[in-house]
Amino acid sequence: EAQVTQNPRYLITVTGKKLTVTCSQNMNHEYMSWYRQDPGLGLRQIYYSMNVEVTDKGDVPEGYKVSRKEKRNFPLILESPSPNQTSLYFCASRLQGTYEQYFGPGTRLTVT
Amino acid sequence: GNSVTQMEGPVTLSEEAFLTINCTYTATGYPSLFWYVQYPGEGLQLLLKATKADDKGSNKGFEATYRKETTSFHLEKGSVQVSDSAVYFCALRPDNAGNMLTFGGGTRLMVKP
């Protein structure tokens, strides 16, 4: 089944404790991205990647890092999480040249 | 910069009622326009799209027409069902930057039997 998977689905952590949210897609998509969803703000793009070893900042990249060492994986790294990073995070992928993005199920992160 | 504005929800309707969710945008040139739907506990799914002025996107009984003159892309459905209850997001992709989607704030639709 074609899908985007994220892990973990739920995470509660404390300020300053480094964490990684994994994202993997099995559709051989070149393009992957991370969004955060906050009430009333819709989805805002954090980072995106057009292909392996090619990443770029989205609208709200501060406090996040990403890497794209393999085509299928695009982990999101929070080196020192803070409470304002409490949010619902979505990973998405798309075949280059097409319009439809495929979204993962989301990761709900709480930073206390 | 680019932006998308949606009507605030929640929108509460009875089954078989007519639905309109307003969406207006600000962007230069001719962006592509999208409606995404998010069912409870799930990620977003593309509902429909329009890539040029006057295009009408349609899917599952939903429609939206790309109106360049009013910079709008309103979502409509003639007869909603309880299963349409979800959050709907309007989004645009600029015509000169194919890798960035700008989303509106989302509109929650609740359909009662």
- Report pLDDT digits (tens) over B86-110: 999 999 988 765 667 889 989 999 9
Q: DSSP character for B81?
A: -
Q: Is A53 left (phi over 0), alpha (psi -120 to 50) or beta?
A: left
Is B76 in contact with B19 (CB distance < 8 Å)? yes
Cα A23 from Cα B65, distance rounded (Å)? 34
Are B88 and B109 spatial neighbours (Cβ–Cβ below 8 Å)? yes
Q: Tell which of A41, A57, A99 to mutate to test the B interface (max B CBs under 10 Å).
A: A99
B34 in contact with A, Cβ within 8 Å: yes
* A103 touches B at CB < 8 Å: yes
Chain A partners of B93 at a C-beta cutoff of 8 Å?
99
Residues near A5 by Cβ (< 8 Å), separated by ≥ 6? A23, A24, A25, A104, A105
Q: What is the pLDDT of residues A71-107, one digit of tens each?
A: 999 999 999 999 999 999 999 999 987 878 899 999 9
Specify the pairing of strand B86-93 against strand B75-77. unpaired
Choice between A33 and B7, residue whose per-residue pLDDT is larger? A33
Dump the DSSP string for B84-104: G-EEEEEEEE-TT-TT--EE-
Mean pLDDT for A41-69 is: 93
Q: Is the pLDDT of residue A36 over 80?
A: yes
Chain B interface test: which of A30, A49, A101, A102 (most B C-beta within 10 Å): A101
Tell me the pLDDT band of B15, cut-offs 50, 70 and 90.
very high
Which residue has 């945008």 as its token pair?
A: B25
Left (φ > 0), alpha (ψ -120 to 50) or beta: where does A40 sit? Answer: left
**∠ at Cα B103 (B74, A72), nearest 5°?**
125
Any chain B CB within 8 A of the CB of A98? no
* Residue A16, phi-psi category: left (phi > 0), alpha (psi -120 to 50), beta (remainder): left
